[in-house]
Amino acid sequence: MNIPNAALSVVIAYLLGSIPSALWIGKGFHNIDVREHGSGNAGTTNTIRVLGWITGIPVLLIDIIKGWLATMLPVFLHLTAHGSALMINLQMITGVVAIIGHIFPVFAGFRGGKGVATVFGVFLALQPLLTLCSMGIFLIVLFITGIVSVSSMSAGISFPVFLFLFFDTPSIFFKIFSILVGIALIVTHRKNIGRLLRGEEAKLIKFGKKA
């Protein structure tokens, strides 16, 4: 394994994760810092609430893509054999670094989002089919509740459950990683959980109701 290239991939992964799409698009097109409005979070959900779907969808796509790209860096740089446990572990490292970059972005004063879309991009690179299964859980829960935070946490919890029951991986660290990410999503949504318990969490989508 090329150690300098491995180190370079980690640096690039953090810089990719640090791209504050919500902040840059919000300021560039609306002259608004979304962190100063709504939930104060620089993520897709708050961007949609504050600036609308037309602005929120590009934010979502960019955050997914940067997670996917960061996770694929070890593959693109041919750091080791594709599909091996070592490659998966290296991809997890760059993926985690990208998620950290999203939550603590160097380009935005270390004030970022919760990392849900970036986590999706990371998992999409590592386990595409499994990730789509969890995405199905997200959509089902969103259809039932209309609440993104509940949908995100449900999808995060479903990922390790699906992995252990229906899928496999040569990396034991990936199994541990999937559990930790599920826990991390709950931790990063602790304020949302508080609002849910108080009945104050807003619905992003209200099915069957007029806006």
- Residue 209: inside a domain: no
- Residue 59: inside a domain: yes
As for how many domains the chain has, the answer is 1
pLDDT of the residue at 95: 94
- Residue 190: inside a domain: yes
- Residue 204: inside a domain: no
Domain holding 7, by residue range, is 3-198
pLDDT of the residue at 207: 57
Residues 6+ apart with CB under 8 A from 112: 18, 20, 42, 43, 101, 102, 103, 104, 105
How much helix, strand and coil, in percent to the nearest 5, is found in the chain? 75, 0, 25
pLDDT of the residue at 211: 38
- Residue 32: inside a domain: yes
pLDDT tens, per residue, the chain with 211 residues:
678 899 999 999 999 999 999 999 999 999 999 999 988 888 888 898 899 999 999 999 999 999 999 999 999 999 988 878 889 899 999 999 999 999 999 999 999 888 889 989 998 999 999 999 999 999 999 999 888 889 989 998 999 999 999 887 777 888 888 898 889 888 888 888 898 888 888 787 765 544 3
- Residue 174: inside a domain: yes
pLDDT of the residue at 206: 65
| pTM (predicted TM-score) | 0.82
- Residue 210: inside a domain: no
8 A C-beta contact, residue 163 and residue 172: no
- Residue 7: inside a domain: yes
